Amino acid sequence: MRNIARSRWTQVVSLAAVGVLALSACSSSDSSSEETAAEETAVEEPAVEEDTEPEETEEAEVEEPAADEGCAELTPASLQLQWFVQAQFAGYYAAKDLGFYEDNCIDVTILEGGVDIVPQTVLAQGGADFALAWVPKALASREQGAGIVDIGQVFQRSGTLQVAWADSGIESPADFQGKKIGNWGFGNEYEIFAALGKEGLDPASDVELVQQQFDMVALLNREIDAAEAMTYNEYAQLLEAVNPDTGELYTADDFNVINYADYGVGMLQDAIWADEAKLGDADYVDLAQRFVTASFEGWIYCRDNPQECAEIVTANGSQLGASHQLWMMNEVNKLVWPSPAGIGIVDFGEWQQTVEISLNSPNLEGATVITSAPPAEAYTNQFAETANAELTNMGLDTTGDDFTPIEVTLNEGGE
């Protein structure tokens, strides 16, 4: 889906593409020999080949750019999402529709997820080249033998909330005691167990855990006292519902929002995973690098153009209403940006926190997410670092230090 406004990007990208190709030819041989055993690898500074000046606009090319420039043919690649198309995955859809993947000589097929689809299993079984998954669940799969590696930690912080009514008196996990605490089950409840553990509460006897459906009806009907919600999705559903007493939409003042990240029990979420075995193959490594770089480019674009990205997602078949989609885009941006070390870089402290919770917070069956710590090979920053360098050279801001979220007004039902 080509957009005339991207012609300026096109020139920039096409110039960069040649550079990237040349660079990746050099760096791929380097990165394969360089075993990234350490958690913090030195950032590679590749030689800058092309001089990219965004101010110069060559009007000659209007459409059809880099496809013929250095791309003999497009490598097909597939990405398995965790859920249905929505702004949570905007960066990838933007990268596809705006031609960033193509510019990197990749023809990407985005595979929608669903209730029964486990993306990391699809990846490990060869059903996709890359997959998105939350870190704890992916680590659990790894422990069960799935050979997968985190190559890009796009979401830098957890977006999991527990939301209660403002008049409920629930303001922190300590207040969960004796209450009906909703959660989605399906392995999404470990942050709650971690929070309860920190407060010294016993999940089996001190709280009543209830599985919610994938909506907020149970909280709205006051059948449960606090509901699990993602900042970017279910929380918005509350603010899109009409308060029967006032006839107006609910506002943030009507609720108490508990962010698990604030209590030190947030776990790392959306990341790009690659097939570990295939990472021994030079072609796959090269593909992965290109994919990561182009994906990050998509995310940068969505940071700076949230409205447009929301529309791209909708155009790709998302059923969500326009205001909800924009809310999601904006909230997801808050989870990605700022990325202090650069987009997609795994922060060691965050990783450790995720691992520690996964090891030490048992659920009601007494089971933890994993039983032994994952090896260092479970994630790598090599691809993210290379991508960051290339994108910086293109003049893009890869840390988003000055990122400011926009104001989003929700409409009823998210329309």
Partner 1 sequence: MSTQTADRLKLIWPPVLIAVLFLSAWQLLVVVRDIKPYLLPAPSLIAENFFGDIALMWQTALYTGTTAFLGLVFGTIVGLVMALLAQRFIVVNNLVTPLAAGLAAVPIIALTPILNNMFSITSRTPRVLVTAIIVLFPIFVNVTRGLIQVQPVQLELMRSMNAQPRTVLRALRIPNAIPFFFTAMKVAAPLAVIAALVAEYFGGPQQGLGSRIAGSAANTAYGRAWAYVVAAIITGLMFYLIVVAIERWTTPWTGRTRSA
Residue given tokens 């990165």 in the structure block:
31
Site for partner 1 contains 44 (CB under 8 A)? no
Tokens of 201: 């509460």
Choose the binding region for partner 1 from 17-25, 81-89, 315-323, 362-370 (rule: CB under 8 A): 362-370
Q: Roughly what angle, to the nearest 10 degrees, separates helices 322-336 and 282-304?
A: 120
Q: Return the sign of the alpha-carbon dihedral for residues 161, 165, 166, 170.
A: negative
Closest approach of partner 1 to the CB of residue 112, in Å = 18
Q: Considering only residues 25, 252, 367, 406, which one is a binding residue for partner 1 as defined by CB under 8 A?
A: 367
Count of residues interacting with partner 1 (CB under 8 A): 35
> Which residue's CB is nearer to partner 1, number 64 or number 223?
223
First-to-last C-alpha distance (Å) of the chain: 24
Q: Which of 305, 300, 286 is nearest to 337 (CA)?
A: 300
Q: Considering only residues 21, 95, 146, 329, which one is a binding residue for partner 1 as defined by CB under 8 A?
A: 146
> Under rule CB under 8 A, which residues in 205-234 are in contact with partner 1?
208-213, 217-218, 223-224
Distance CA 163, CA 176 (A): 11
Site for partner 1 contains 74 (CB under 8 A)? no
Closest approach of partner 1 to the CB of residue 210, in Å = 5
Q: What is the CA radius of gyration of the chain?
A: 22
> Which residue's CB is nearer to partner 1, number 120 or number 156?
120
Closest approach of partner 1 to the CB of residue 362, in Å = 12
> Which residue's CB is nearer to partner 1, number 224 or number 345?
224
Closest approach of partner 1 to the CB of residue 224, in Å = 6
x/- map, 160-199, partner 1, by CB under 8 A: --------------------x----xxxxx----------
Site for partner 1 contains 114 (CB under 8 A)? no
Determine if residue 99 is left, alpha or beta; phi over 0 gives left, psi from -120 to 50 gives alpha, anything else beta.
left
Distance CA 390, CA 395 (A): 9
Q: Which of 132, 90, 6 is nearest to 315 (CA)?
A: 90
Taking residue 242's Cβ as centre, other Cβ atoms within 10 Å add up to 13
> Which residue's CB is nearer to partner 1, number 164 or number 300?
164
Query: Looking at the DSSP assignment, which residues form a beta bridge with residue 161?
Result: 229, 259
Distance CA 34, CA 43 (A): 12
**Contacts with partner 1, residue ranges (CB under 8 A):** 118, 120-121, 124-125, 136-137, 140-141, 143-146, 180, 185-189, 208-213, 217-218, 223-224, 363-367, 369
